[in-house]
Structure 1
Amino acid sequence: MAARILHRLRHALAGEGGREEPAGGGGEAEDCPESSELEDDTEGLSTRLSGTLSFTSHEDEEEEEEEGDGATSEELEVTPQAPGAAAGTEDGGRCWGEWVSAAERPGGSLLTRQLQELWRRSRGSLAPQRLLFEVTSASVVSERSSKYVLYTIYLIRSGQFDKAPATIARRYSDFEQLNRRLRCRFSCDMASVAFPRKRLRRNFTAETIAKRSRAFEQFLSHLHSIDEIRRSSEFLEFFFLPDLQAAQRLTCTGMYREALATWANAYRLQDRLGVCSSGRFLLTLAGLAVCHQELDQLSEAHGCCEQALQLLEAQGSHPLLGPFLQAHIHLAWKVGKDKRHSEARLQDLRESGLLLQQQPSLKECLIKEPLE
């Protein structure tokens, strides 16, 4: 159908400038095969659009939007249809000639607007994210009494670009300890999980380091694919507990800038692992708030307190609730934000006897929290 319409348009335009008779002198129009003009024109349009053309009905388009798989703008299907126009065919689609005419009118940017709209819609229907583990570097560390390889691992969410990646640095003995603890608790689940064996020689060759790097990636990915292990404290704390301990030590010694970077990495690790409602995560927000405040970054500290209070909204009592409310009230006054809700909530908790009149500060709670 589309090929015949293009054929008629071509001959109509040719007729205005003088019609050429086909070879052989016949006055009848020659047949237009389905594979000639349509393929050439479609190829040109596809090249200019860098996309895939699809002539589907409106119902098909809605189904594709609901089942979108997070394609990029180059993979999106383009359904050319003028806004506000009635469907030209029985199945709700528009024929090729009608769309070409709409694109050639003053509103010729219709297709660009449609691409932009499809892209905006597709961003909300991305495929479920998957956590990837990638060993990005490995370095040989020599100390007085030992020599070992330190592996740097990135935690990456598929389908998303992380401006600030979540990273850990672990040695073989750290992985071995994790493997041993998990096998003690999840012996059945761990039966199919492979772990690289120890070597007596050639532990520091490039070949051995490369093989172990790939083995550790597969090891962590396999563990993360098992529900019970993925949610276990042994697996989760392997990633972020060392950062929390280091950040706490740096905060206690007044090295707030260094502590802030470590708290921030612990935040990203817990975010990637999906444990943003745990007690460890609240402690991380407390560390971020304290360091931001000590570095005179009051707006950032206020934001951390607000996030923590949102997580604590449904809890009537928590050891960090009072300190967070006090810190939020103080910071809101400093940055000119509304603090009435926090003041009322703090007063209600005190009147109900859930909080003492004299609460420790957020920094005091952070320093005294045992992290083992």
Structure 2
Amino acid sequence: MKSSNPHPATVGNLEPVCEAGPSDKYPEDSVHWGYEDLNPSDSSSSCMTTKELQQYWRAEKQRLRPIKLLFEIPLARTIDQTLTKYVVYQIVVIRSGSYDSQRVSVERRYSDFARFHHQLLQNFNEELEDVKLPRKFLTGNFNPDCILERRLALQDYLGQLYAIRCVRQCRQFLDFFTEPEQIRAYGLLRSGQFQMALELLHVVLDLQEKLAQWYNPVQLVPTQCALAVCHRDLDEQVIAFAMGQRALPAVRRYGIRRYRGPLLAMLVDLGYQLGRPVAQLQEELTQVKDAERGQVSFRSLKEVVVQEFI
């Protein structure tokens, strides 16, 4: 499990035209068109020569290339412990269509793939009729040629799964890439090992932004809030405030009540410390408190976060 960027991730250097929700549709099954179509009457092109206009359109065509995900399994390594021996495969998730600086990876065993495939078959048996999990070897599991064959087959398998819309949008698909790291990260957070938790959570967020944000930004909120808590407890208030602000729009839009009040309270507190304008946040927090008066006691964001993955 590796990440080239241990700090808060951004998805490329372009912003989506609109915030995608669970019901949003795209024109291609496995391609996400994230940017506005260019207007041919744009004033920026009205004074160009023919040559300049051709160069301009070529540049825009390159910039507006469709975005999709690619899966690579470039490496496999054998873990030889006292009582067990197994192979782990490094999975790299790459966003094509533009330069992807967030080359994050996780490691999974063949048994993880087998369990994942079994879960998918329970919900998508017909859709996966032509998608087969690479076969299990009875012997020679640690033979370099067998490992190479399986590595390439598993890479192709992930690509076939991603090509099926209902599969790539399901929770099991996202969990396969992120859940083991999330469980470990939240365990570290609960034990106060915030720096180690941060490293895992940033890997998780990078993957979630690639895999989930086009369909369901709600799935990013717990990770963003956990990162905000870790940064705050490490006295990195500026980063904590920025991460909390990233989580707030989805919390508002999708009415995530469990996180809304605690997140607003943290942002108001950090905003006062940093000298940021917080009047609107304070007003919103007061409305939330008034609406929840007499209900469940108001908890801190940290108290909410530590309840995840218990």
TM range (shorter): 0.7 to 0.9
Q: Note the C-alpha offset of 1:354.
A: 6.3
Letter in 2 for 1:369: E
Aligned to 2:99: 161
**1:268 and 2:232 aligned:** no
5+ long unaligned stretches in structure 2: 1-36
2:138 alignment partner in structure 1: 200
Distance in 2, Cα, partners of 1:218 & 1:84: 45
Question: Partner of 1:234 in structure 2?
Answer: 172
Aligned Cα RMSD in Å?
Answer: 2.7
Q: Secondary structure at the match of 1:320?
A: helix
Measured after TM superposition, the shift of residue 127 of structure 1 is 2.1
Distance 1:354 1:120 in 2: 55
Deviations 1:278-335 (A, max 9, x none): 5441110111101111222211110111111111223455101111001100111122
* Mapped contact 1:350–1:357 kept (Cα < 8 A): no
Provide closer, same or farther for how the CA distance between residues 82 and 292 of structure 1 changes in structure 2, counting only shifts above 3 A. Answer: closer
- Aligned residue number for residue 161 of structure 2: 223
**1:128 alignment partner, SS class:** coil
How far apart are 1:357 and its partner, in Å? 8.7
Letter in 2 for 1:130: K
SS at match of 1:286: helix
Matches within 5 A, 1:27-106: 83=47
Count of residues in Structure 1 that have an aligned counterpart in Structure 2: 269
- Aligned partner of 1:142 in structure 2 is 80
Partner of 2:243: 304
Q: 1:231 deviation in Å?
A: 1.5
Over 3 Å counting, the alpha-carbon distance change for 1:196 and 1:289 in structure 2 is same
Q: Offset of 1:160 from its aligned partner?
A: 2.5
Letter aligned with residue 157 of structure 1: R
Residue 84 of structure 1: how far off its partner (Å): 7.5
Partner secondary structure for residue 150 of structure 1: strand
Which structure is higher in RCO with an 8 Å CA cutoff and minimum separation 6? 2
Specify which of 305, 314, 319 is matched with residue 258 of structure 2. Answer: 319
How far apart, in 2, do the equivalents of 1:253 and 1:66 lie? Answer: 54
The answer as to whether partners of 1:350 and 1:356 remain within 8 angstroms in 2 is: no
Residue 270 of structure 2 is aligned with which of 331, 335, 344? 331
Residue aligning to 1:130: 68
Residues 355 and 131 of structure 1, relative CA distance in 2, 3 Å threshold? farther
| 1:171 to partner: Cα distance | 0.5
Listed as ranges, the gaps of 5+ residues in structure 1 are: 1-63, 68-80, 86-93, 95-110
TM-score by length of 1: 0.66
Mapped pair 1:288 → 2:227: yes
Q: Which runs of 4+ in 1 moved over 3 A?
A: 64-67, 81-85, 113-124, 275-280, 353-358
1:253 partnered with 2:198? no
The aligned residue for residue 31 of structure 1 is none
> Does the C-alpha gap of structure 1 residues 194 and 288 become closer, same or farther in structure 2, counting only changes over 3 Å?
same
Larger Rg: 1
